[in-house]
Structure formats: C-alpha cells, structure tokens
Chains A and B, each alone.
Chain A
Amino acid sequence: MYVAVKGGERAIDNAHAFLAEERRGDPAVPDLSVAQIREQMALAVNRVMTEGSLYDPDLAALAIKQARGDLIEAIFLIRAYRTTLPRLGYSTPVDTGKMATTRRISATYKDLPGGQILGPTFDYTHRLIDFALAAEGDAPPAPQASPLGDVPRVTGFLDREGLIEEEPASDATPGDLTREPMELPADRALRLQALTRGDEGFILSLAYSSQRGFGRTHPFVGELRIGEVAVEMDISELGVAIEIGEITVTECETVNQFTGSKTQPPQFTRGYGLVFGQTERKAISMSLVDRALRWKELGEDDTGAPVQDQEFVLMHADNIQATGFLEHIKLPHYVDFQSELELVRRLRAGMTEAAE
C-alpha cells in the first residue's frame, strides 16, 4: 500500500502513452491532418495564435491537434514554444489603414467611404444545425467582388471634425510584458498587450459586465475591420523598411461616451482592440475593457466595478497563469494538509480539555 507512491516515473510514462492513445481515438477513423485543422478550424487556430502571441497558423493547428482540441492547452504549447525563440528584430507598427479588408462594418454610419462589407460572418446565419455538413460535400463557391482600395477609418472622419479625442502617433517603444515583469499601474500599451493575450472568455465577461452597468462604457462599434496587413521591418543597413510577410488581423475601434468640461468642448472617446486572425468577439470585448480601464485619465468616477480595476483585470486575464495555478491544487499537498490536521486536532483537544 505505502509502496504505491513509489514508481512515479513509470506512472508518468504510462500516463503519457495512454494519453497519446486517447488523443488519436479510434484508429479506424482517419487521422486529422494539421492542414485540415488550419483550414477548417480556422477560428480555433486564430484564438490560439492571439492568446499564444504567435502568428503561425500551422503551428497553432498542430498545437490544437496535440492538445486534443483543448484550446487553453494549445495556447500553452504555443506560449512555451514562443518563449524559446530568439528575437531577431522588431517590426514597425502595422498600418491597419492599408488593410486588404475582407470584412468591415460600422455601427455608427449607415453608409460611409469604403462601404459596409459583411464578409464571412455568422452574424445573420440562422443558428440551425446544418445536417448537410455531416455528409461529405464541398460548399459552392461564393460570389467574388472586385478587390477594394484603401478603406479609410471611421474614427478618422470624427477626428477631422475634432469630435473624437486625439490619439497622436508616438515613437515611444511600447513595453513588453513577456520580457519585463508587470508593474502597476501599467500604461495603455501594456494593458492592450495583456488584453490581447488575455482569455477570450474572461475579457468577454468583463466587457459584458460593463455593458450591464458595472463600469458603464457606452460603446458604439465605430468600426470593425478584418483583413490582411503587411508586416515591415526596418533594415538599418539599408535604411528602408522591407515587407517580411502578411498577417490577418481583426481591429475594433469603439466610439464611446463623450467627455468635456467648461474649457474643453465635448468629445467622444475611444476603445481599441487588435487581435490575430478573424477573432472579432475578442476584438470587440477588448475595446470595451480598454475603454473602461481608461476611467482615470478621462476623469471619470471609480464606481468600484471589476472592469475598472486595472490590477484585477490585468492580473487575472491570462488563462495560462490562471489554469496553471488553478490546476496545481491537484498536486500533492499532504504535507500542508497534515500540518492543518495536526493543528485542528490540537485545537479540538484543547477545547475538550477546557470543557472537562
């Protein structure tokens, strides 16, 4: 019986073999290819890339396969891999104004330059199980539109009129919470990084809580755009920026309640979200949480809402930290439990003695 705790190494090896077998499932069913996951589970791939902070659809797809579809486990695999990669350089900021958009909608204007482009969205699908998908079969090709030119940003229209707070461009190097320990209060760039990496469910719920009145943000989706942007790097030897590739991103800019004072005319304010791939729920949630966290700089009241509490939001958004700490309570704790047992027994004995 007591020998049961011995042989930890063999137990681990056997557990891993069992896991591999379960991961594969019934060998009579064909093995999933990484390409199939990348192409047909693209939104899962996007989430893993966003919260894993690494743009590599093939690797994300492989991680999903290895993790048996557990996306947080897949994100963990990506993060642990990413941290070992050397930093060869830093790109210049991507210009989402030059995005090749596949989807672009604004809730603030009926029509606008560049137009409303629904793109590949679930928005107006009726959520009826499509039993036809259970049978093999390709979808008919969708109609093709001619490619769009540059699509100007909605906040740009408001900016021109001075109706929205200015967001001047800055050459300051943003912090990086994967290289520096988080220091509170964190500036906006660092908060945005934490929110992009943060758990989609957590950010969604925080955003929802703000809509329901816990730290009200009063948002309009000024614009949601999805598409490809060029990633460029400055090559100091050449003195020019060269394009090293293209990535798909989702960007959300919200237009929020205005601020103003006797001296300052009223202006709308902004919330911002940017994530890898088509991950629009996350991008919208992020922009609401971003806006809510800005209460202090915009002179708003602290209503004590969770979404306004920077430390609460930033310290609990990361699902890899959260799941690790949560699940560590599975590890043996019998030393601590023993010390508690001993204390409780002693306190009880003391009470019995006192009663006698």
Chain B
Amino acid sequence: MSDYNFAYLDEQTKRMIRRAILKGVAVPGYQVPFASREMPMPYGWGTGGVQVTAACLTPDDRLKVIDQGADDTTNAVSIRKFFQRTAAVAVTEHTGAATLIQTRHRIPERPLIAGQILVYQVPIPEPLRFLEPRETETRRMHALEDYGLMHVKLYEDIARNGAIATSYAYPVKVEGRYVMDPSPIPKFDNPKLSGTPALQLFGAGREQRIYAIPPFTKVVSLDFEDYPFEATKAPHPCDLCGDEGSYLDEVITDDRGGRMFVCSDTDHCASRQAEGHGGRLSTQGDAA
C-alpha cells in the first residue's frame, strides 16, 4: 500500500473533505454535501467515516476504531488495519488514550475529553428520509425548519404503542435549529451527544454528506412534554464486570434460554475487570 498517499486519499480529496468538515462545524447539525470518493471498502461499511478520519489524521494521532462498541469486531479490525497500513498511525483500544475514535453504532462509555475527535459512520444521514424519501423535499424542510412531519411520526408511535417506538438512530435537534440523525447509536447513547468537550464528526460516504457537532453544543432528543425522552438499556448489570450503568450486549449461551449480558464497550468492560470489578459470571470460565 506504500504506493498510496498518506492516509490513502490524495491531497485534493482531503482538501475537499476538510472544507466540508469546517462548514459542518460552522453550521452544527446541517448535512454538508461532499464529493465522496470510491474507497477500497464497500459503501455502507464505513466509507464516510473512513474519509473523514483520513482527512483528519496526523502522524501524531492515536487511533481507536470500534464497531458495536468493540475494538475486536471484524469491521473495526479491518478499518484499523487500513489506517495502520496507509497512515502508519499509532492505534489504541483505550478510549482515554485515543485522540481520534472512529465508531459505528456506539459512543464509548468513558466520557470523552477535550481535544478528542469522535468520527461516526453514518448509513442514512437524513433523519427525515423514512418519512419523506425525496432529497429535494427534505432539503426544503430543513431550509424552512419544517419538522412537523417528524413530530407527527413520533406522536403516531405513542398513539399506537404507548411509547415512542424508536430505539436507535433516535432524532435529535442541534442548537435549537437542525434536526439530525445521530447515526444508528442506541438511544441510550443520545444524552452523551450533548455538551461533550470532544468534537463529533459524522461521515456518510454513499449519501455524500458530512456533518458535525462542535464541543459543548446543545443536542436535544426529540420528545413530548407528556412523553419525555428516556435513555433505556436492558435492566441488568454486566455479567463480566458488574457495571449497572453500561450498555449491554445480550449473548445467547445455550438453546435452553440461557443468556448473559455483557458490556458492548469492550474497553470499558476490560478496564473495569482489570480494576477488580466482577459480575455474575466473572469467576467461571474464560472471560478474556
């Protein structure tokens, strides 16, 4: 891969992406169109996030890549390897040690700190897409701040199910202006979008959009006064580290209804276990 430029993309492409990122930062929550390039991995597998990361990386960075909260899922491994090869960048699995984190579907449990950049992979950046498939129409709705349709949808949920039936990719409003798709993170993670000292960048490669939430930006999950937003998770502690407050994966352990719940954030869980915390199953079996 040594024939390719630093961080794979050519300089002109990086400039174009960097300009889009800066406009995204200037207008928090607004989706900036960009000329997404064809990457050596498939659309839908993080090409947007990869392009944003490639445009941001410097040789001084320490990169962490997670998918579903885990550093060792195959797609996270694949993307991390790509940047090790093309940018010779240092990598880490520790949230606290990373300067740039590329993620798919989760925000790390450990609070992010100033100077960190969190890059989200986004499949469908348009929060109104499933209500109105036409780009020409949704663009107009954003321009006019016409978000009535979204409230109607959420309200219909309540009428039918007694609750808002959106559990991930839960729409938010950024600085009181743009309704934004936070990428398919569980709504459990939504509160972490707001007021964090880290910079959050969102890249959608196939849909050719980049958007941003600067540090300390107000991000509110859409809700109603009588049906307030609720960040929920499975009502269990982690079976390996005992954490009561982390987001959990459910793992089926046998075909007789056996299951265990473990932290989806593998770094968080491993760090807690290293600190001596344990859960229901931490003493039995190999919990490495």
- Is A–B contact present in the complex under a CB 8 A cutoff? yes
Give the contact stretch, choosing among B31-39, B112-120, B218-226: B31-39
Give the contact stretch, choosing among B52-60, B147-155, B173-181, B245-253: B245-253
B188 CB–A CB distance under 8 Å: yes
Q: A324-B44, A341-B250 are in contact. Are A311 and B135 (CB under 8 A)?
A: yes
- Give Cα distance in the complex from A5 to B76, angstroms: 12
- A203 to B: closest C-beta gap in Å: 19
B35 contacts which of A6, A181, A342 (Cβ < 8 Å)?
Answer: A181
A172 CB–B CB distance under 8 Å: no
- Give Cα distance in the complex from A338 to B35, angstroms: 34
Q: A79-B38, A184-B136, A340-B167 are in contact. Are A335 and B106 (CB under 8 A)?
A: yes
A346 lies within 8 A of B232 (CB) = yes
Q: A5-B72, A12-B77, A343-B167 are in contact. Are A336 and B186 (CB under 8 A)?
A: yes
Q: How many A-B residue pairs have CB under 8 A?
A: 156
B276 CB–A CB distance under 8 Å: no
B208 lies within 8 A of A182 (CB) = yes
A328 lies within 8 A of B44 (CB) = yes
B198 CB–A CB distance under 8 Å: no
Give the contact stretch, choosing among B22-30, B94-102, B157-165: B157-165
A339 lies within 8 A of B10 (CB) = no
A2 contacts which of B135, B232, B262 (Cβ < 8 Å)?
Answer: B262
A interface footprint on B193-219 (CB within 8 Å = 1, 0 otherwise): 000000000000010100000000000
Q: Which of A277-329 contact B (CB under 8 A)?
A: 311, 315, 320-321, 323-328
A143 CB–B CB distance under 8 Å: no
Give the number of chain B interface residues (Cβ < 8 Å).
67
B42 CB–A CB distance under 8 Å: yes
- B165 to A: closest C-beta gap in Å: 7
A interface footprint on B71-104 (CB within 8 Å = 1, 0 otherwise): 0111111100100000000000000000000001
B206 lies within 8 A of A347 (CB) = no
A328 lies within 8 A of B123 (CB) = yes
Give the number of chain A interface residues (Cβ < 8 Å).
50
B272 CB–A CB distance under 8 Å: no
A11 CB–B CB distance under 8 Å: yes
Q: Which residues of A contact B43 (CB under 8 A)?
A: 320-321, 323-325, 328
Q: A2-B251, A2-B287, A331-B75 are in contact. Are A339 and B187 (CB under 8 A)?
A: yes
- Scoring B123, B167, B232 by chain A CB atoms within 10 A of each residue's CB, the highest score goes to B167
B67 CB–A CB distance under 8 Å: yes
A336 lies within 8 A of B105 (CB) = yes
B105 lies within 8 A of A324 (CB) = no
- Give Cα distance in the complex from A118 to B42, angstroms: 40
- B24 to A: closest C-beta gap in Å: 13
- Give Cα distance in the complex from A97 to B13, angstroms: 36
- B133 to A: closest C-beta gap in Å: 8
B233 contacts which of A83, A333, A334, A342 (Cβ < 8 Å)?
Answer: A342
Listed by A's residue number, 9 A-B pairs whose Cβ atoms lie within 8 Å are A76-B42, A83-B13, A83-B37, A84-B4, A178-B35, A335-B186, A338-B249, A343-B163, A346-B163
